């Protein structure tokens, strides 16, 4: 984890094996007042409990262990339901939804905020459906 952690703010989980990627994205998110948890592997992420707050994953899918069916199977098996923002070092992936590392800071923050709004909505629906 990077920096001070506030329990009243959403959480951005950054996963990637590149330390510069994790540190740069963590600093950007913290500058916007977001909590950040950063991990260098999916295993380390899955070994931690997320706080009870809206959250999203920002994943460097150019990391060998963070792409493909195995990665998605691990998230599904662990019942991870938060939105994912995939980021890649490649610029011509042919997929509109995948952000490149060269994306502007503001665009990244807007995308993260959309993912956090999606998780807020999911959490609200879950509260209404699941009696306490």
- Domain spans of the chain? 11-129
pLDDT tens-digit readout, 84-118: 998 876 544 433 344 555 567 888 899 999 999 99
Rama region for 127: left / alpha / beta (φ>0; ψ in -120 to 50; rest): alpha
How far apart CA 20 and CA 119 sit, in angstroms, is 27
Radius of gyration in angstroms for the set of CA atoms belonging to the chain, rounded to a whole number: 14
Other residues' Cβ atoms within 10 Å of the Cβ of residue 81:
12
Cβ proximity of 112 and 103 under 8 Å: no
Q: Note the pLDDT tens digit of each residue in 67-79.
A: 667 777 888 888 8
Domain 11-129 top-level CATH class: alpha beta
Q: Are 16 and 66 in contact (CB under 8 A)?
A: yes
């Amino acid at each position: 984890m990077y920096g001070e952690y506030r329990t009243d703010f959403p959480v951005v989980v950054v996963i990637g094996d590149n330390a510069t990627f994790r540190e740069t994205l963590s600093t950007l998110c913290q500058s916007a007042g977001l909590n950040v948890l950063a991990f260098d592997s999916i295993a380390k992420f899955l070994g931690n409990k997320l706080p009870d707050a809206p959250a999203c994953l920002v994943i460097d899918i150019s990391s060998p262990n963070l792409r493909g069916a195995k990665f998605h199977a691990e998230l599904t098996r662990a019942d991870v339901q938060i939105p994912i923002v995939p980021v890649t070092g490649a610029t011509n992936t042919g997929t509109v939804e995948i952000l490149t590392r060269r994306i502007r800071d503001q665009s990244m923050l807007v995308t993260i905020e959309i993912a956090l709004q999606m998780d807020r909505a999911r959490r609200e629906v879950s509260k209404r459906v699941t009696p306490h």
